[in-house]
Amino acid sequence: MKRKTNLTGFKIKLKQLVWALPLSITMTIGLSNSAALGKDPFRSENPREIGKYTEEAFKTVFLEGDYKTVNEKLALAESEEANEPLTYALLASLAYTEKDWESIKKYAAKTLESAQFLSVEDPVRGNLYLAVGHFLDGAYIYEKQGALDAINKLQLVFKYFDEAEASDPNDPELNLIKGYIDLLLAVNLPFSSPEQAIARFETYAAPNYLVERGLAVAYRDLKQYNQALQYAEQALKTAPENPEHYYLKGQILRQIGKKENDIKVLEDAIKNFEQALEKSAQLPDFVLETLERENRLTKEKIAEIESETAAKGFVNFKN
């Protein structure tokens, strides 16, 4: 199926997509015989093997929401589980948060190399990681050469997604990673219909808390805030230690409170923002910057509503 993208949509969503991809990748294969084995968090049938350090790094980032202490585990994973594409994708994404462009380029290349090796043995995951590697390389190209060259890379991303899908269209890992991109494009590009992307993502992707998080973001962007709030709360129940889930719930509550001029809802948003801020030391800088800004703007909105209410009360009193 042909996919149409435009320069504006790609430009707006690049940063989100860079994190959406490695957010979703948790499976590995092709480890050395001496590597410790971890569990497959996606598949109950036909599970793959994952390295111990890679699995620990994944949990540190996506269950605990800790981006700052994961480097040691990723260094061990890179040393001990050298055939693991997830390790390199995570390292590239962490480099992206630091704007370390040469490391992004380096680890994108390593993702592609390990994915090519993997594709012989496991065409679903091999092609999936080839898509991821080209996407990460596209992020580097976007920064250094501009959006037009990066869009050429995006075409390769979709090519390898298609090849992975041809091998197993219902694979949970594929549907999680590809699903994040499909949701973001469907929700944010003109003339798109997100219903099909949402249904497929909800049906076939795994694990649950990443699916719930993705659906909360999708419904937030669609301005369907009640549905978004339900999924954000489900993600919090599954991964309550992750401060990004409190941040996401706060974002949704803020939009509801603004729409309804409801101080109580806005105060609930602030409570969630502040719960996220309690773990600010473990968040990437670009996440922390937007979190602090939205927390401040929410407090300003409450003050604005209170001021307007007081002014109306004064006018009524005079009358």
pLDDT, one tens digit per residue, over 73-89 is 999 999 999 988 989 99
How far is it, in rounded angstroms, from Cα 279 to Cα 62? 14
Tokens of 216: 């909360």
pLDDT, one tens digit per residue, over 165-197 is 999 999 998 999 999 888 988 887 777 789 999
Q: How much is the pLDDT for 186?
A: 86
How far is it, in rounded angstroms, from Cα 285 to Cα 76? 24
The burial class, CB within 10 Å (0-12 / 13-18 / 19+), for 193 is exposed
Examine the pLDDT at 256 and tell me if it is beyond 90: yes
Q: How much is the pLDDT for 2?
A: 43
The burial class, CB within 10 Å (0-12 / 13-18 / 19+), for 299 is middle
For residue 77, give the nearest of 120, 31, 112, 131 by alpha carbon.
Answer: 31
Tokens of 126: 């091999």
- Residue-averaged pLDDT of the chain: 85
Task: Go through the domains of the chain in sequence order and give each one's CATH number.
Answer: 1-197 (no CATH), 207-319 (1.25.40.10)
Are 118 and 129 in contact by the 8 Å Cβ rule? The answer is: yes
Q: How much is the pLDDT for 315?
A: 57
Examine the pLDDT at 31 and tell me if it is beyond 70: no
Tokens of 39: 């569990």
Mean pLDDT value of segment 224-246: 96
Q: What are phi and psi of 38, to 5 degrees?
A: -115, -175
DSSP at 94: H
Q: Which residue has the tokens 């040691």?
A: 72
**pLDDT band with cut points at 50, 70 and 90 for residue 22:** very low
Q: How much is the pLDDT for 235?
A: 95
Mean pLDDT value of segment 55-68: 87
Q: Which residue has the tokens 């030391």?
A: 281
